Amino acid sequence: MDENPVYPVYRVFDQMKDTIVALATPTGRSGIGVIRLSGGDALSITRSLTRDAASEFRPRHAYLVKLLDPTSSEVIDEAIVTYFKAPHSFTGENVVEISCHGSPVLLRQVIDLCLAENARLAESGEFTLRALANGRLDLAEAEAIRDLIDAQTIASARQAVRQLSGEFSHELQPIKSELLNVIVILESALEFVEDDLPETQAATIKNRLSHLSTQVGEIADTFKAGKLIRDGLRVALVGRPNVGKSSLFNAMLGSERAIVTDIAGTTRDQLHERFTIDEIPISLIDTAGLRETDDTVEIIGVERSRRTMADADLVLVMVDASEDLTDEDREIIASVQEQPHIVVVNKIDLQHETAVLESEIDDRSPNFVHVSAKTGEGLDDLKKAIVEPFSTEDVSTGGFLVTDARHHDLLVRAASEIDNSIDLLDHKTSEEIILIGLHNALRYLGQITGETTTEDMLTRIFATFCIGK
Ligand SMILES: Nc1nc2c(ncn2[C@@H]2O[C@H](COP(=O)(O)OP(=O)(O)O)[C@@H](O)[C@H]2O)c(=O)[nH]1
Ligand SMILES: [Mg+2]
């Protein structure tokens, strides 16, 4: 690690001297389960578990070995061992991957044997943290690994892979160096010029800063699309009892997930399911019908429905096309006026004069879609209507998208520091003051890729990783 002191701040991580071990595959029965060791003792620990095997493991070669319990010499599994010699490994340290048969008891036993040989159980994201510390990847790339593992759709996986291959860091690099150039000019002005900056120089600097602010702002703006692709939308399905919410819920998912009856008040608890529309993850929530009731359980359900409504990105208010609009319907529609919502007119397969109903809704909620949860009619239109207001051009243009709220926050802060500096420049404030903001901006940008991230921030970021990664 000392040979590669890319991020000196991370060297204070004391526990990096330990050799760590973790299961790299999910717990539970599987074809194979991979145990990963990283650190100075990775190879010697492996040797002690494979005493009869070739004592020499050539790097990047797969060896079929018998795994032994070192104390009893009992064979516990046949496994494939692959050794990656430092620094040519994921973490930059000596790494050994042991592919065992995927029995949870066996895998637990092998890990215990590693622990007995003085390895320590890895913490969340510790392998990636070591890779970061050893300059194998930068912070944005490390976070991309987590995002790739957590991706729920192909689109968000694709964005994570782009970030992992350095696209984001690459985009930020010229911005950081241009910012640094401007800082250097102002700093030398501070040293050599007694009076204010010459008018022409101030104008050039202002131009360069505006350009930087625009660039940073444009990258930050892709977060709208990036967040959509990554987190998707929370869509709440609400309405009075029996209008067909649970039926629509099932129809959208294509499975009989929720109980459907003609008894009002059947759905008392909420059901969540995920699916995607145009690669956008949708979390659909079926709620208890909203009505006045004396039933204790239903009251709790109704309260939950109201909370879910408030938290949702989009509310689907369902009304029944086969009946006249009721006061309850009107009340529910009135309550979502401040929120993005769609009025879903259900049961269009039943004969009814719906014109009156629609003109009444139309006054307040121009967004309505006609469906029949029973026949499936109108479902495609509804799906389109759900994602349409949220889709931005960025989703489809195939550019790089900022998907992480932390990155977005830092970009916004950097842009606002730069804008602020431009204002100060206009007011002929002294370079010293202007420089403070620009240094802040540079530090914020550096926190994205990790050069200026503190240990405390890293601990928080890596706590969101899974164990074994
Ligand atoms: N004809 C017709 N009946 C429907 C439709 N959607 C739901 N229903 C019926 O309406 C009743 C209430 O449905 P449900 O989904 O439980 O309503 P919820 O209380 O709003 O969840 C059930 O008998 C459903 O079969 C539809 O589009 N057309
Ligand atoms: Mg229901």
Average of pLDDT values for 21-39?
A: 95
| Mean predicted lDDT score pLDDT of the chain | 88
Residue nearest to atom 6 of ligand 1 (CA): 244
Residue 129 CB coordination number (10 Å):
25
Q: What is the pLDDT of residues 437-458, one digit of tens each?
A: 999 999 999 999 988 888 888 8
Cα of 300 to ligand 2 centre, how many Å?
15
Q: How far apart are CA 51 and CA 10, in angstroms?
A: 36
Residue 145: is it exposed, middle or buried by C-beta count within 10 angstroms (0-12/13-18/19+)?
buried
Residue 311: is it exposed, middle or buried by C-beta count within 10 angstroms (0-12/13-18/19+)?
exposed
> Which one is predicted more confidently, 340 or 298?
340
Identify which of 255, 260, 350 to mutate to test ligand 1's pocket (most ligand atoms within 8 A of the CB).
Answer: 260
Q: Which domains does the chain show, CATH number per domain?
A: 8-138 (3.30.1360.120), 147-222+400-449 (1.20.120.430), 235-393 (3.40.50.300)
Q: Is residue 264 over pLDDT 80?
A: no
* Confidence at residue 359, expressed as pLDDT on a 0 to 100 scale: 59
Q: Is residue 95 over pLDDT 60?
A: yes
**In the sheet where 95-102 sits, what is the strand order?**
62-68, 75-84, 95-102, 30-38, 20-23, 120-121
Give pTM, 2 decimals. 0.79
Residue nearest to atom 8 of ligand 1 (CA): 244
Identify which of 238, 240, 242 to mutate to test ligand 1's pocket (most ligand atoms within 8 A of the CB).
Answer: 242
User: What are 85's two structure tokens?
Assistant: 């010699």
Could you tell me if 244 and 373 are in contact, meaning their C-beta atoms sit under 8 angstroms apart?
yes
Average of pLDDT values for 320-342?
A: 89
Average of pLDDT values for 136-140?
A: 93
351 lines ligand 1 (CB under 6 A): no
Ligand closest to CA 320 = 1
289 lines ligand 1 (CB under 6 A): yes
* Confidence at residue 1, expressed as pLDDT on a 0 to 100 scale: 34
Residue nearest to atom 23 of ligand 1 (CA): 262
**Least confident stretch, 193-202, 207-216, 434-443:** 193-202
Q: Is residue 96 over pLDDT 50?
A: yes
Q: What is the pLDDT of residues 153-163, one digit of tens each?
A: 888 999 999 99
18 lines ligand 1 (CB under 6 A): no
Q: How far apart are CA 98 and CA 319, in angstroms?
A: 58
Could you tell me if 133 and 127 are in contact, meaning their C-beta atoms sit under 8 angstroms apart?
no
Q: Is residue 5 over pLDDT 50?
A: no
* Confidence at residue 309, expressed as pLDDT on a 0 to 100 scale: 85
Identify which of 247, 326, 354 to mutate to test ligand 1's pocket (most ligand atoms within 8 A of the CB).
Answer: 247
Average of pLDDT values for 406-419?
A: 97
* Confidence at residue 217, expressed as pLDDT on a 0 to 100 scale: 96
Q: How far apart are CA 78 and CA 65, in angstroms?
A: 6
Q: Is residue 318 over pLDDT 50?
A: yes
**Least confident stretch, 172-176, 274-278, 394-398:** 394-398
CA angle 392, 412, 338 (to 5 degrees): 55
Q: Which of 53-57, 264-268, 440-444 has the highest mean pLDDT?
A: 440-444
| Band (190; pLDDT cuts 50, 70, 90) | confident
Residue nearest to atom 26 of ligand 1 (CA): 347
Residue 177: is it exposed, middle or buried by C-beta count within 10 angstroms (0-12/13-18/19+)?
exposed
Give, in order, the Cα–Cα distances in Å from 138 to each of 130, 145, 172.
11, 11, 12
